[in-house]
Amino acid sequence: MGLTLYSAWRATAPYRVRIGLQLKGLSYDYVPIDLIKGEQREPAYKAVNPQGLTPALDLGDGGVLTQSVAILEWLEETRPDPPILPEDPLDRQMVRTMALIIACDIHPLNNTRVGRALHKLGVSKEDNLAWVQRWIADGFDTLEPLVATYGKGFAFGETPSIADCCLIPQVYSANRYELDLAPWPAIRAVNAQALAHPAFQAAHPKQQPDAVLI
């Protein structure tokens, strides 16, 4: 039974799942979806994920999983080794809180469809960039003291967790949108350590077959 990931190289939600798959040592086929061309809204992809969002993880047995954070929880429950959640319920709650600050309070405000909707409302390119930067900054302001308190190399403790699966793609997005990361040293330190980890390296946008490098 082979796994197939429908992904887009720069999008943060599929990037989260790539990290999770790599951390669990799972191999998968990669199907690129071109978000600029709008392939996510075409019938071929909507047959896979009717919502028209990436990622989708095809299990090869008829099942297709969506929602990146739910996929990470499923990975943890079905392939528990190595763990990407700690054992203690309060620790798990903190890891999930970090992940959801990103997955609920930052990323949904900044994805492709929202940018298009703002453009249609007459919001300028400059205001759109400021919008993206504002929500990332707000979220990172909340995350920074949590990472500084609970991180010991990674966002929570000494090993990668679901929090890092979400944080490292969000830092990549912050760089893409030219946000100066100076105010968040704890986040920067975790990002530097993660980028040296083989699983995070294999999952990096620039390593994907659909990467456009200039």
State the DSSP H helix or E strand holding residue 6, giving kind and residue range, or none if neither: strand 4-7
**Residue 101 to residue 156: CA distance in whole angstroms:** 14
Minimum distance, C-beta of residue 198 to a second copy, in the bound complex (Å): 26
**Tokens standing for residue 178:** 């030219």
Say how many residues make up the chain.
214
In three-state secondary structure terms, 128 is: helix
* Binding residues for a second copy (CB under 8 A): 50-51, 53, 63, 65-67, 69-71, 73-74, 77-78, 89-90, 92-93, 96-97, 99-101, 103-105, 107-109, 114, 117-118, 121-123, 127, 131, 134, 142, 145
Using the minimum distance from each CB to a second copy, give the nearer residue, 91 or 210.
91
Please choose, from the candidates 2, 12, 44, the residue with its C-alpha nearest in 3D space to the C-alpha of residue 208: 12
Residue placing its CB nearer to a second copy in the complex, 65 or 199: 65
Least distance CB 171 / a second copy (angstroms)? 19
Using the minimum distance from each CB to a second copy, give the nearer residue, 148 or 202: 148
Q: Which CB sits closer to a second copy, 39 or 210?
A: 39
Buried b (16+ CB within 10 A) or exposed e, 139-161: bbeebbebbeebbeebbbbeebb
